[in-house]
Amino acid sequence: MKIYYSKYIGYGSLSLAIVLFIHLAFLYTLGFEAFPKFTLITLLQLCLFLVAVYAMIAGIKRLTNRQIAFELTPTGIHVYQGIILPKDIFIPKEELVSAAYKVVDVSDPDHQNSKSYFIEFQLRDGSTLQNLSKSNIVINSQNLTVKLFVNLCRFKEEEWQELSKYLKEEYQITII
C-alpha cells in the first residue's frame, strides 16, 4: 500500500524551465541577442531567464531531495526520497506500537495551509531507530514517535479508514 507524495511539482518546474529556455533561445535566433538600450522587453527577457533558472533549480531539488512515497509492506514502512536519486528509510513493523491520524493547526501566519496532517506512530520502548528529520518524516527516539507528514500527498481522511484496517490486520498495532 503506497501513499504518494506530489511529485508533479518537480516535473512542472522542470517543464516550465525548458519552455522558458526554448522561448529565450527562439528570441535569441530572431536577433534579440544584443539589446542596444534598456527597455521593457529587455527587462522582461531578463525576468524570464531568472524564472527559468529558478524553476530548473526547484525542479531538480524537488526530484532529488524530497520524499515522494511511503510504502507500507508486510515487513514495515519504506520511505522513499526523490525520483532520480532514490533513497530508502526503513521502519520495521516490530518497532511500532500504535498509529493515529492527526490534524494540527499551524500558528504560522505565513503558512499557506493552516493545518498540518500526519500519521503518528508510537515506537516500542528500547527502539533502535535513530533521530531523523526530513521534509515529511520525523523520527524522534526520545519521545518514541514517528511522524509521516501527508500534507502534500493525495491522502484523504477517508483513506485513513482503509489504512487503519490494513495496519490493524497486518501490523497488529493499536489504532487511536
Report the distance separating Cα 134 and Cα 87, nearest Å. 12
Amino acid at position 52, single letter: A
Q: What is the pLDDT of residue 88?
A: 76
CB 121 within 8 A of CB 96: yes
pLDDT digits (tens, 9 = 90+) for 84-125: 656 678 899 999 999 999 888 776 665 555 778 889 999 999
Between the CA of residue 155 and those of 54, 66, 80, 84, 114, what are the distances in Å? 29, 17, 16, 23, 17
Q: What mean pLDDT comes out for the span 35-51?
A: 74
Q: Per-residue pLDDT for 11 more than 60?
A: yes
Q: What is the pLDDT of residue 117?
A: 84
pLDDT digits (tens, 9 = 90+) for 54-86: 888 777 776 666 545 688 888 999 887 666 656
Tell me the CB-side half-sphere exposure of residue 90, using CA atoms within 13 A: 6
**What average pLDDT does the structure give for the chain?**
78
List the beta bridge partners of residue 132: 139
Listed as own residue / partner, the contacts of 50-54 with beta carbons closer than 8 Å and 24 or more positions apart are 51/16, 51/20, 52/16, 52/17, 52/20, 52/21, 52/24, 53/17
> SS3 for 144?
coil
